[in-house]
Chain A
Amino acid sequence: MKRCLSALLAAMLLACMILSVGAAAMDFVPVEREKSLVVDEAGVLTGKQLALLNERADTLAETCEMEVALVFVSTLDGRSARDYADDYYDYNGYGYGPNDDGILLLVAVEDREYWITCHAAGIREFDEYAQEALADAFVPYMSGNDWYGAAGAYLDQAAREMDHSIPLFWIPLAVGLGMLIALLPMLRLKKQLNPVAKKQEANQYIRYANLSVKQDQFLHTTVTRRRIETDSSSGGGSTHTSSSGRSHSGSGGSF
């Protein structure tokens, strides 16, 4: 029901957009994806490699409900890598579900530039740290012109970022910590059995206690200052609006 409703909403949004864009009929965002998840327009992969990568990307999209796309192009045709990637994502209908959740890595093989663009749930899933981790994974391969290796590293790292299962070592760690914390109530229970102890004070037998002098004399103040490291990172998590009017986040670089 909810899905139908959001699909309807998306359709209405689409209709509005078509109206507003008007004559530019070829600029509309298709509902269904028109290309495969891994596209090789630069001809750097063999047919078998492409098929393998697409198979993996499709499986990932189904299990994580998030499309992880990869496009190899030769050049950016003078456009910015960001716009190229955003438009490629939008106008080819990439993204999972009614909100088009996903991430796309655009690689311009000859320009030696790349851009990661994220949309909808992809923005939340791949924050600036995750994008950095992705780049760290595939950039070394691309520097060595190992395109298939780069594609594999990208898909692997994306899968790791989306894996929210807790590492196995947390089971013994949690048990250990639990047993340690359990010492607190156990000590209390043990104390119940051994209440006999010598009294150290005689507070019950004070007939009078008269504090005649109570002085709190201020002496001096010392001040220490520490510089706070200001956040200098460019804010890859921030979003911008692409030409289709949809918001994207992204980051890129050269290799």
Chain B
Amino acid sequence: MASQTTNYQCPSCTGPLHFDSESGQMKCDYCGSVYSVEEIDALYGVKNEAAEQAAEKAAETAEGWDYSGMTDDWGADAAKLNAYNCTSCGAELLCEATTAATTCPYCGNNTVIPGQFAGSLKPDFIIPFAKTKEDAMHSMRKYYKGKKLLPKAFSDENQIEKIQGLYVPFWLFDGEADADAEYAGEIVRTYRTSNEEVTETSHYRIYRRGAFAFDKIPVDASRRMDDALMDSIEPFDYQGLKAFSLSYLPGYLADKYDCSAAESAERADKRAESSVDGALYRSVSGFTGVREIRKSIRLRRGKVHYALLPVWILNTTWHGKQYTFAMNGQTGQFTGDLPMDKKRYWTWHLIYGAIFAAVVYFIKWLLTVI
């Protein structure tokens, strides 16, 4: 289970460097030096080879102990786990096979594990974090506000157990579509003559044909990540897409895809199809009633991009239930399901119910008086 790790050290003081989301540069906490991502990339292209050799030092074997009950066969877990050595303090750490960047719990150094990317695709793009941990905490408190049914204890205790910046792997699908559809439309006109009510229904055959192109429909490529949660923090601003570089990773967790592009494509297809369908249908206007007769959408799949997109994940447990929130690390869009206070629900339901009951009674009273 040999693997290599990279952590970026400050060229001036050898303190750990991390990507600073506010300035978009690599920053040293110790001496305050700031480097551009390109500078560090250039420097580490050379340095990495030396680090590789250092990591290959064999593990020491202690004498006099009985190791007979142990095995180095990880069985099924081998595929899921990876060991690596922290290049700063030498600690050997285990982490999940899809984790590509983490923090050493012993020395706090931010470490990238390039070995984790081995054998899989290199991301085309990355959107660096623009929002900090503080922004995420702030957004969370703001998110609680104005929600009348949220249990007060939940927002007051506000015990976020875990907050982590995570680069989530996404497939971005380009595609085109040709579509045509036929609808039956009616325009109903009703008027009165002196002794008849006349209903005139005009029938139409409606035909629409169009061409559509889609750019980078995102589908999250991590099985661990809830699709609905990731959909809900869309959209990412693709103006911020940068060519991938490992230098953006330190300080954040990064996952690699474990859901292939082929598997994910289905969701992108569905979304594109329903968009085309909607666009065709919405272009039909001026009718009293419209019914679909026939529809055909031909999708042409285009380029697939692999990108790491920044997401703050916040976890909390409340009354034994796990709540996960996500914030778009670029735009700050915050979302997540919240628990409901049943007592508050019924209080508000009764309040609204009483108001509406009074209104209903008042209307009845008005009708009786007049």
Interface residues of A (CB under 8 A from B): 164, 166, 170-171, 173-175, 177-179, 181-183, 185-186, 189-190, 192-228, 230
Partner of A200, one of B203, B274, B353: B274
Bound CA span A227–B199, Å: 11
Known: A186-B348, A193-B338. A202 touches B360 (CB 8 A): no
Asked whether, in the complex, the Cβ of B229 is within 8 Å of the Cβ of A196, the reply is yes
Partner of B232, one of A173, A196, A214, A228: A196
Dominant SS among interface residues on chain A: mixed
Min distance, Cβ A104 to any Cβ of chain B, angstroms? 25
Asked whether, in the complex, the Cβ of A174 is within 8 Å of the Cβ of B360, the reply is yes
Asked whether, in the complex, the Cβ of A174 is within 8 Å of the Cβ of B368, the reply is no
Q: Mark each residue of chain B from 292 to 314: 1 if its CB lies under 8 Å from any CB of chain A, else 0.
A: 00000000000000000000000
B192 at the interface (CB under 8 A from A): yes
Asked whether, in the complex, the Cβ of B149 is within 8 Å of the Cβ of A178, the reply is no
B74 at the interface (CB under 8 A from A): no
A216 contacts across to B, CB distance below 8 A:
185, 204, 206, 284, 286
B352 contacts across to A, CB distance below 8 A:
178, 181-182, 185-186
B47 at the interface (CB under 8 A from A): no
Q: List 24 A-B contacts (CB under 8 A).
A: A174-B357, A179-B349, A179-B353, A182-B353, A186-B349, A192-B147, A192-B148, A193-B338, A193-B340, A194-B338, A196-B226, A204-B234, A209-B213, A211-B280, A211-B283, A212-B210, A213-B209, A214-B208, A215-B206, A216-B185, A216-B206, A222-B203, A225-B196, A228-B195
A226 contacts across to B, CB distance below 8 A:
196-199
Nearest-CB residue, chain A, relative to B276: A209
B336 contacts across to A, CB distance below 8 A:
195-196
Min distance, Cβ A93 to any Cβ of chain B, angstroms? 30
Partner of A224, one of B195, B198, B213, B231: B198
Enumerate the 4 nearest inter-chain pairs by beta-carbon distance, A residue then B residue, closest first: A178-B357, A182-B352, A178-B356, A202-B271
Asked whether, in the complex, the Cβ of A206 is within 8 Å of the Cβ of B213, the reply is yes
Interface residues of B (CB under 8 A from A): 146-150, 180, 185, 192, 195-218, 226-229, 231-232, 234-235, 268, 270-272, 274-275, 278-280, 283-284, 286, 335-340, 345, 348-349, 352-361, 364-365, 368-369
Asked whether, in the complex, the Cβ of B197 is within 8 Å of the Cβ of A196, the reply is no
Partner of A207, one of B150, B213, B286, B357: B213
Asked whether, in the complex, the Cβ of B209 is within 8 Å of the Cβ of A193, the reply is no
B235 contacts across to A, CB distance below 8 A:
204-205
Asked whether, in the complex, the Cβ of A213 is within 8 Å of the Cβ of B353, the reply is no
Asked whether, in the complex, the Cβ of A219 is within 8 Å of the Cβ of B201, the reply is no
Min distance, Cβ A100 to any Cβ of chain B, angstroms? 23
Known: A189-B348, A202-B272, A226-B196. A181 touches B202 (CB 8 A): no
Bound CA span A183–B192, Å: 39
Nearest-CB residue, chain B, relative to A195: B335
Asked whether, in the complex, the Cβ of A174 is within 8 Å of the Cβ of B215, the reply is no
Bound CA span A158–B340, Å: 55
Asked whether, in the complex, the Cβ of B228 is within 8 Å of the Cβ of A197, the reply is yes
Asked whether, in the complex, the Cβ of A164 is within 8 Å of the Cβ of B369, the reply is yes
B227 contacts across to A, CB distance below 8 A:
198
Asked whether, in the complex, the Cβ of A206 is within 8 Å of the Cβ of B353, the reply is no
Bound CA span A179–B348, Å: 11
Partner of A221, one of B146, B185, B200, B349: B200
Nearest-CB residue, chain A, relative to B198: A225
Asked whether, in the complex, the Cβ of B209 is within 8 Å of the Cβ of A212, the reply is yes
Asked whether, in the complex, the Cβ of A177 is within 8 Å of the Cβ of B357, the reply is yes
Known: A185-B352, A200-B271, A224-B199. A209 touches B360 (CB 8 A): no
Min distance, Cβ B171 to any Cβ of chain A, angstroms? 13
Asked whether, in the complex, the Cβ of A178 is within 8 Å of the Cβ of B364, the reply is no
A178-B357, A178-B359, A195-B337 are known; give 9 further A-B pairs, CB within 8 A.
Answer: A182-B353, A185-B352, A186-B349, A200-B270, A201-B275, A203-B275, A207-B214, A218-B202, A226-B198
Known: A189-B148, A193-B147. A230 touches B195 (CB 8 A): yes
Asked whether, in the complex, the Cβ of A225 is within 8 Å of the Cβ of B197, the reply is yes
Partner of B210, one of A183, A186, A210: A210
Nearest-CB residue, chain B, relative to A211: B210
A209 contacts across to B, CB distance below 8 A:
210-213, 279
Nearest-CB residue, chain A, relative to B180: A213
Known: A179-B353, A186-B349, A206-B212. A217 touches B361 (CB 8 A): no
Nearest-CB residue, chain A, relative to B203: A219
B217 contacts across to A, CB distance below 8 A:
202, 205
Nearest-CB residue, chain B, relative to A163: B368
Asked whether, in the complex, the Cβ of B278 is within 8 Å of the Cβ of A182, the reply is no
Nearest-CB residue, chain B, relative to A221: B202
A201 contacts across to B, CB distance below 8 A:
271, 274-275, 278
Min distance, Cβ B225 to any Cβ of chain A, angstroms? 12
Asked whether, in the complex, the Cβ of A205 is within 8 Å of the Cβ of B214, the reply is yes
A200 contacts across to B, CB distance below 8 A:
270-271, 274
Bound CA span A178–B361, Å: 9
Bound CA span A209–B278, Å: 12
Nearest-CB residue, chain A, relative to B363: A174
Nearest-CB residue, chain B, relative to A177: B360
Bound CA span A166–B217, Å: 60
Nearest-CB residue, chain B, relative to A194: B337
B195 contacts across to A, CB distance below 8 A:
227-228, 230
B280 contacts across to A, CB distance below 8 A:
211
Nearest-CB residue, chain A, relative to B340: A193
Nearest-CB residue, chain A, relative to B345: A186
B357 contacts across to A, CB distance below 8 A:
174-175, 177-179
Nearest-CB residue, chain B, relative to A220: B203
Min distance, Cβ A124 to any Cβ of chain B, angstroms? 11
Bound CA span A1–B198, Å: 56
